[in-house]
Amino acid sequence: MFGVNLASTLKMQRSVSSLNLNLSVRARLISAGIQSTRDLLHVSPKQLSSETGLSQQEALEVLQVVSTGLGGASISALELLQREEEEPKSIVTFCSQLDTALAGGLPVGKTTEVCGTPGTGKTQLCLQLAVDVQVPPCFGGVGGQVVFIDTEGTFLLQRVTDMAAAAVQHCALLVEDDEQRVAMTTFSVETILSNIFLVCCHDYLELLAELHLLPDFLSEHPRVRLLVIDSLAFPFRQHFDELSQRTRLLNGLTQQLIAMATNQNLAVVLTNHMTTRLQGSKSQLVPALGESWGHAPTIRLLLQWAGSRRLAAIFKSSGHMDSTIQYQITSEGFRDADQLEQP
Amino acid sequence: MVVLREGMCPGLEEGLVRDLRAADIKTVEDLVSSDMEELAQKCSVSYKALFAIRRVLLAQHTAFPVSGADLYEELLSSTAILSTGNPSLDKLLDSGLYTGEITELSGGPGSGKSQVCFGVAVHISFHLKQSVIFIDTTGGFTASRLLQMLQTETRNTEEQMEALQRIHVFRLFDVYALLDCLYSLRGGGLQQASVGGGSVKAVIVDSVSAVISPLLGGKPNEGMSLMIQVAGVLKTMAKDFNVAALVTNYLTRSGGGEVQPGLGVSWSHIPRTRLLLERVDKAAVFSPSSLRSATLIKSSRQRCHIRAEFDLKWWSRSEDTSSSRKRKLEETDS
Amino acid sequence: MTESGAQLFARLEARRCLKDIEPRLFPEDGGPNHGEVVELYGPEGTGKTELLYHLLCRCVLPVASGGLEVDVVFVDTDYSLDMLRLVSILDNRLSAARSAGSPSAAADEAVLRSCLSRLLVVHCSSSSQLLLTLHFLETTLTSRPGLALLLIDSINAFYWLDRSEGGASFARQEEKLSKCAELLGRLLRDYKITVFATCHAIRRSYSGSSSASSSSSTSSFASTSTTESDKPFLCRPWQRLVTHRLLCSKQEAPKNMAATAGGSKEQKTRQVFTVSTASSSSSSKTKTFRSSSYYVTDGGVEFIGPNTKVS
């Protein structure tokens, strides 16, 4: 039944502790002296059950993990490229310079961090994206829904309504063919608001619990293309006596988010605060949550004031080179800077 | 420990296994370590038969010594040095990545670790015409970026596609999935990936710390044990299949504020060669630069602390092709 | 497995004693005797491996080139043996000996091969395989009277694996290594070989070094004083076997190497490694100490001065 697979895996003694098994099941196996997968060769579920005291069902599951749990299939870079090009790849942002810098918009399937000091427009960008993700495909959009996790209580309904109205108006002006006309009938401020699933979390435990449940929610709502956490920093900047615990939780959370982004084809956007790091006599403004957190997002975007100008810098990305662009925030939302303002 | 079971070797029958168990001999280790004469009496089996069983079991489960001369001979014929495609890095690495070894790139966020991995993958698959396994644990793998790099190498689309075909990507986000993947590669997946293309010459894991660091600090034994197992299977795979393993690691800051590669002291023994990547101009976020420096911090071949600067744009150096890529994106957007 | 007392005596008599393996490393007259165990202890980057290769080379080199010409078994539990490096050290030693007036160059290749054939390498991937392999090696020991040294690199390779597989029971966690140590003890007594083993420093209470602001206790060791992380952490049966403990450390890195203009300046400052030895040989009841320093060159370990004391 498990013959071929087992024979090849057992050539190398794989420790039972490296299998993704329930802790109590693993403890049973180990206390019965079964420490390597080699000991599971040619064993029937019944025999294993009598040796270890596991139920036959559990024993069967163990044998299945050993035989089938061995790695998913690989996919060639070529197939991935085709997928990247076929699928709705990015969320256009209404800020053409940002779109260009990100090679077409905010990439779906990746995690992006937006950091900046208060008042630089992090939340504005998030709200804007919650609207942008809903632009119908015939207008070059993704036509998706959004899960918006608000941890700071800064989700302003009025602001979203304004941005939604601006987006609807913008698209209405672009209508050229029947398909777009039809799409416009369902692209309204009301539908935009109804496609935003708002979740409020007050501390990191609530946030972790919410993220734990999210994959199920996402599989019930396959149209969700964007997950926003605004902000990630706030719940994680307090109530931690030991920083290493925070780091570990954040590292685990990172992997969860990346898995969701990849498996459910989501864009994940997280906002982060800035903090001051002292190094000798110099102090420097750096993104909060510690050094190792910086690895988590695939793209890092820094919003900052430079005199009277607002600048956004991509300072980490696996897909594009670093660059800096200028933007402004108007009553309609996050937009390109006016030509006049540019130096 | 290996549990004794009937049929493991000739003469080890059901009855004997039961008798041995009764004498508290449950594993091969128990059997091998015990006094044969005494045990033979206890289990009412002939000393000769029991001794034969011991010998066979030992031969089945021991590791066999190999002469150093043979090992060297084999090494000379099988070791390959894979150029990274970037002359500065090759110089630090004493001409490139050595097969049979683990090389580590460590660096802070945005220091160019993934870009170097992409560049190496493209170089090996395009120039050396060999296959590459790329394990992405951070979700950072972007095939279009690889295409961009390839477009600077050749304008022939067919060649570009062939090169991409030779890069096998696994996307997995937790340590068990990584272990599953590595063990199945060791158990024959590597040869399968070689079918229809060159043989697999490199296994890239970007990054190991992403999946391991969430484990450290909780239950230490579990986390450390899983980390050591990842290291073990990578090492044996590198040696047995003669592939170069390239892994990336985060940086942490020690008490004194100095940066050092992550994952702690036990991991530090694992890679044979370690490079530290840094931005050349660390402070200036707003003057984006693709210039990076690499410092050799562990090596058995070169003096350490040699430093070299390199440009991430090296792998996509000609300007005209990057603009043609942009054009293509615009087309797909409209 | 049976043999006459006379045979046994002859076999034991033949085995080479390694007391003089490296006089610069051990206290006067305190080198490792028959049946003794030397542990090389230190964190990564403190020259343990180089030191091990140095000792290994001394053993397998022919007497004419300043070697001891004995057979060595290298138990590689870390899969870390760097054959290319080892060969380059051997090469270097051989050509140095030749320029001092020994045979011709043409013979070198053949000499190198014969050196390497004195080395047996065995890879182990779990502590239970290590135990079975040690049992198996008993036959090798019987058949090769020239075999005088058993190297284990490293003895703590399976520490975390055993910890996690042992479950909640501490005794169970240490069971396998204890068994290995007991078996080694018997092999040492019966065959009068010498064992060298490396042991990597670990931090026992892992407090999450992945944290950005975690403090780290590594990298700065006082060269002689025993700090928290230098304390032996392996099981008691192993600790009882160890008669010589070599504490490896490196002196503070040449200042701020990466910061300013690279290249030429660094070439001149060599990393100095320090090893402090604590011997409690069976011959002398008291513990004796010795401290020595060396650099690592392309040709291997080079000691600094014959009697340099490093405080």
Domain at A54, CATH number: 1.10.150
What residues make up the domain containing A127?
A: 84-336
Q: How far is B331 from chain C (nearest CA, A)?
A: 43
Q: Which of C78, C86, C173 sits opposite B269 (nearest CB)?
A: C78
Do B184 and B233 fall into the same domain? yes
Specify the CATH number for the domain of residue A274. 3.40.50.300
Do B208 and B270 fall into the same domain? yes
Do A89 and A65 fall into the same domain? no
pLDDT in the model for residue B333: 36
> What percent of chain C is modeled with pLDDT above 70?
74
CB contact under 8 A, C83 and B255: no
Q: What count of CB pairs under 8 Å joins A to C?
A: 49
A83 phi and psi angles, rounded to 5 deg: -60, -45
* B210 domain residue, yes or no: yes
Q: What is the 3-state secondary structure (H, E, C) of A108-147?
A: CCCEEEEEECCCCCHHHHHHHHHHHCCCCHHHCCCCCEEE
Residue by residue, DSSP assigns C205-255 as: S---TTSTT-----S---SSS--GGGS--S-HHHHHHEEEEEEEEE--PST
Amino acid at A198: L
* B74 domain residue, yes or no: no
Do B39 and B83 fall into the same domain? no
Q: How far is C28 from chain B (nearest CA, A)?
A: 31
Interface of C with A in 105-134 (CB under 8 A): 125-126, 128-129
Residues found in chain C = 311
Q: Which of C128, C129, C211 sits opposite A243 (nearest CB)?
A: C211
A238-241 contacts, C-beta under 8 A, 24 or more apart: A239/A203, A239/A204
Selected for mutation to probe chain B from C70, C156, C180, C209 (highest B CB count within 10 Å) is C209
CB contact under 8 A, C211 and A246: yes
Model confidence pLDDT, tens digit, residues A249-273: 888 898 999 999 988 889 999 999 9
CB contact under 8 A, A20 and B176: yes
A84-103 mean pLDDT: 83
Q: Which of A35, A302, A318 sits opposite B114 (nearest CB)?
A: A318
* A79 domain residue, yes or no: no
Model confidence pLDDT, tens digit, residues C53-94: 999 999 999 988 888 999 999 999 988 888 989 999 999 888
| Residue C266 confidence (pLDDT) above 50 | no
Identify which of B247, B114, B135, B117 has the alpha carbon closest to the alpha carbon of residue B182: B135
pLDDT in the model for residue A16: 82
Q: Which of B58, B71, B224 sits opposite C83 (nearest CB)?
A: B71
* A78 domain residue, yes or no: no
What residues make up the domain containing B233?
A: 79-323
Measure the CA–CA gap between A115 and A272, rounded to whole angstroms.
5
Do B110 and B229 fall into the same domain? yes
> What percent of chain A is modeled with pLDDT above 70?
92
Residue whose tokens read 């059997």? B31
Query: Which subunits have 3 or more CB–CB pairs within 8 Å of chain C?
Result: A, B
Model confidence pLDDT, tens digit, residues A136-167: 988 888 899 999 999 999 898 999 999 999 99
Q: Which of A15, A44, A69 is the last residue of a domain?
A: A69
Do B176 and B255 fall into the same domain? yes
Do A297 and A322 fall into the same domain? yes
How many domains does the structure of chain A reveal? Answer: 2
Do B221 and B89 fall into the same domain? yes
Q: Which of A16, A31, A248 sits opposite C208 (nearest CB)?
A: A248
Run of H or E residues at C289: strand C288-297
CB contact under 8 A, C216 and B255: yes
B40 interfacial to chain C (CB closer than 8 Å)? no
Structure tokens at B140: 């950072």
CB < 8 Å to B300, chain C: 49, 82, 85
pLDDT in the model for residue C13: 62
CB < 8 Å to B64, chain C: 122, 136
A31 interfacial to chain C (CB closer than 8 Å)? yes
CB < 8 Å to A313, chain B: 285-286, 288
CB contact under 8 A, C212 and A243: yes
Counting as low any pLDDT under 50, the low residues of chain B are 286, 319-334
Do B100 and B160 fall into the same domain? yes
> What percent of chain C is modeled with pLDDT above 90?
25
Query: Are C93 and C61 spatial neighbours (Cβ–Cβ below 8 Å)?
Result: yes
CB contact under 8 A, B67 and C129: no
Measure the CA–CA gap between A45 and A42, rounded to whole angstroms.
10
A279-308 mean pLDDT: 84
C254-275 mean pLDDT: 55
Residue with the larger pLDDT of the pair C252 and C41: C41
pLDDT in the model for residue B67: 93
Do B170 and B224 fall into the same domain? yes
- Residue C198, classed as helix, strand or coil, is strand
Q: How far is C121 from chain B (nearest CA, A)?
A: 5
The pLDDT confidence band at residue A68, using thresholds 50, 70 and 90, is low
Amino acid at C11: R
CB contact under 8 A, A8 and B188: yes
Selected for mutation to probe chain C from B269, B270, B282, B307 (highest C CB count within 10 Å) is B269
Q: How far is C162 from chain A (nearest CA, A)?
A: 10
Q: Which of A75, A77, A318 sits opposite B140 (nearest CB)?
A: A318
* A76 domain residue, yes or no: no
Do B218 and B264 fall into the same domain? yes
Q: Which of B31, B61, B91 is the last residue of a domain?
A: B61
Do A109 and A142 fall into the same domain? yes
| Residue C203 confidence (pLDDT) above 70 | no
* A257 domain residue, yes or no: yes
Residue whose tokens read 């290749």? C109
For domain C5-251, the question of CATH label 2.30.30.100 is answered with: no
Do A125 and A209 fall into the same domain? yes
Beta-carbon count within 10 A of A32 CB: 17
Do A6 and A120 fall into the same domain? no
Do B28 and B153 fall into the same domain? no
* A74 domain residue, yes or no: no
| Residue C234 confidence (pLDDT) above 90 | no
Q: How far is B131 from chain C (nearest CA, A)?
A: 24
C58-63 contacts, C-beta under 8 A, 24 or more apart: C58/C21, C58/C22, C59/C18, C59/C21, C59/C118, C59/C148, C59/C149, C60/B68, C60/C90, C60/C115, C60/C116, C60/C118, C60/C119, C61/C90, C61/C93, C61/C94, C61/C97, C61/C115, C62/C111, C62/C114, C62/C115
The pLDDT confidence band at residue A46, using thresholds 50, 70 and 90, is confident
CB contact under 8 A, C165 and A251: no
Q: What count of CB pairs under 8 Å joins B to C?
A: 200
Do B135 and B276 fall into the same domain? yes
pLDDT in the model for residue A42: 76
Specify the CATH number for the domain of residue B252. 3.40.50.300
| Residue C116 confidence (pLDDT) above 90 | yes
Residue whose tokens read 């696994």? B170
Do B296 and B198 fall into the same domain? yes
Q: Which of A13, A16, A291 sits opposite C125 (nearest CB)?
A: A13
pLDDT in the model for residue C226: 44
Q: Nearest chain A residue to C167 by CA: give it.
A: A27
Structure tokens at B112: 């160019």
pLDDT in the model for residue B287: 54
pLDDT in the model for residue C16: 82
CB contact under 8 A, B63 and C129: yes
Q: Which of A69, A93, A108 is the last residue of a domain?
A: A69
CB contact under 8 A, B1 and A35: yes
Query: Which subunits have 3 or more CB–CB pairs within 8 Å of chain A?
Result: B, C
B66 interfacial to chain C (CB closer than 8 Å)? yes
CB contact under 8 A, B62 and C219: no
CB < 8 Å to B225, chain C: 160-161, 163-165
How many domains does the structure of chain B reveal? Answer: 2
A210-239 mean pLDDT: 91
CB contact under 8 A, A13 and C213: no
